[in-house]
């Protein structure tokens, strides 16, 4: 019998593995949240499949998006990255990583952790949606608009509302697994 997944996760084995093992499972680790935010920013205008295909190269090139390291990236490092064929070679996206690390540390200082800041928007509990079809799932919401606006105010780049909603889905702040998906995990997180 075929495994029932969300419709988007049936195009490749990479998508299936990501969907089955990571997507929608709550993440509370500051560095993992920062990494996922950076990856979602890299995805802007591209498919998530492209990011999955380049994931290993991206993580290697960007020191696993460790904010303690990337905050110190300078113009030389950015120039080096722009020559790397293993990553998304968009100058603004590359520059945004170090920029966002600086903003990340300001949030950690103000809120105690990046996790407390982000999860505070959902009262530290995942939003559980009940979608029957992928066509019902929104690209953004009022909440993703609010988070995006607040992150922009705090200096973040590549964090539009659609990127933020995809981020919320990926880190489990919102559970958008379809009702008939075997990986829905409601109450099992």
Active site residue 165: no
Of 72, 73, 94, give the one whose Cα is nearest residue 84: 94
The single residue of 23, 48, 73, 165 carrying the catalytic annotation is 48
Residue 19 labeled ligand binder: yes
Residue 177 labeled ligand binder: yes
Residue 6 labeled ligand binder: yes
The single residue of 15, 18, 104, 165 carrying the catalytic annotation is 18
Active site residue 56: no
Active site residue 40: yes
Residue 124 labeled ligand binder: no
The single residue of 15, 23, 40, 104 carrying the catalytic annotation is 40
Indicate the annotated binding residues for Zn(2+). 6, 19, 177, 181
Indicate the annotated binding residues. 6, 19, 177, 181
Active site residues: 18, 40, 48
């Amino acid at each position: 019998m075929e495994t029932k997944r969300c419709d988007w996760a049936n195009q490749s084995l990479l998508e299936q593995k990501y969907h089955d093992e990571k997507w929608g499972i709550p993440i509370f680790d500051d560095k993992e949240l920062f990494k996922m935010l950076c990856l979602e920013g890299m995805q802007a205008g591209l498919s998530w499949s492209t990011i999955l295909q380049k994931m290993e190269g991206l993580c290697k090139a960007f020191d696993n998006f460790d904010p303690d390291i990337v905050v110190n990236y300078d113009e030389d490092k950015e120039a080096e990255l722009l020559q790397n064929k293993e990553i998304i070679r968009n100058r603004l996206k590359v520059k945004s990583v170090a920029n966002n690390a600086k903003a990340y540390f300001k949030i950690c200082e103000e809120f105690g952790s990046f996790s407390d800041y982000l999860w505070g928007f959902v009262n530290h509990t995942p939003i559980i949606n009940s979608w029957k079809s992928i066509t019902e799932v929104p690209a953004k919401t009022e909440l993703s608009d609010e988070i995006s606006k607040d992150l922009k105010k705090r200096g973040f780049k590549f964090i539009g509302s659609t990127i933020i909603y995809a981020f919320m889905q990926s880190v489990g702040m919102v559970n958008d697994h379809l009702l008939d998906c075997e990986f829905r995990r409601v109450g099992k997180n």
